[in-house]
Structures are given as C-alpha cells and as structure tokens.
Amino acid sequence: MDARFGGVVWTKHALERMRARGISQSDAWATWRRPEKSRYAAAKGAWIYDRTYGSEKIEVVAKKNEKGEWIILSVWSKPADTSKVKTEPFWQFLMRRVFRG
C-alpha cells in the first residue's frame, strides 16, 4: 500500500485499517473518487464517502488539509443493507416465466 496512491495522501491509520480489514487500496480510492453517497463526518471539515460492492459497503473518511490536498483518514467496511432490494419467491418467478404472454 502506498501513502500517495491515486494522488491522495493516505494516513498511516487508514493504511493500517485497510490492511487489517482486508480492503484493497484501489477499492477505497474508488469509493472516495466515485461514491454512491456522502455525508458530514464527526471531524470538522471531514466527509464520509460510501459505496456498495456486492454485499459489502466500504466507507472512507476524508478531508482536505491546509495545502488543499485530500487526506484519507480512515477506511472500514460493513455488510450492505440489502433490505431495500425487492425479492420475490422463486415459485412466483417461475410462474411469471412460464405464463408470461
């Protein structure tokens, strides 16, 4: 892992957390670069960016330093909220396929 990956400064804390949590630096960078959502973080001037990859949601905390450079402060992952995904019983799926007109 690189402390200057993707034109962004990565803190030692963020690099250690990614390593410990099995998150690739490229996935964390892609989450920061093209998030699905963002929100204010508890730290002043920081943002939390998140993106879902399959059943996993990666969250990246970042802010700009006094030089205007983006600093990645921390990274973590958690299970994605799949409760919003509409599903149907398998038998209904089969019935739709068999009897569609």
pLDDT, tens digit, 9 for 90 and up, residues 39-64: 999 989 999 999 999 889 999 999 99
Q: What angle do CA 66, 69, 74 make, to 5 degrees?
A: 100
pLDDT tens figures, 13-28: 999 999 999 999 999 9
CATH code for the domain in which residue 90 is found: 3.30.2310
67: which residues sit within 8 A by CB, 6+ positions away? none
Q: What percent of the chain is modeled with pLDDT above 90?
A: 73
Q: How many domains does the chain have?
A: 1
Structural domain span for residue 86: 5-99
Find, among 74, 20, 30, the residue nearest to 52 by Cα: 30
Find, among 20, 70, 26, 73, the residue nearest to 51 by Cα: 26
The predicted structure's pLDDT at residue 29: 97
Q: What value does the mean pLDDT of the chain take?
A: 89
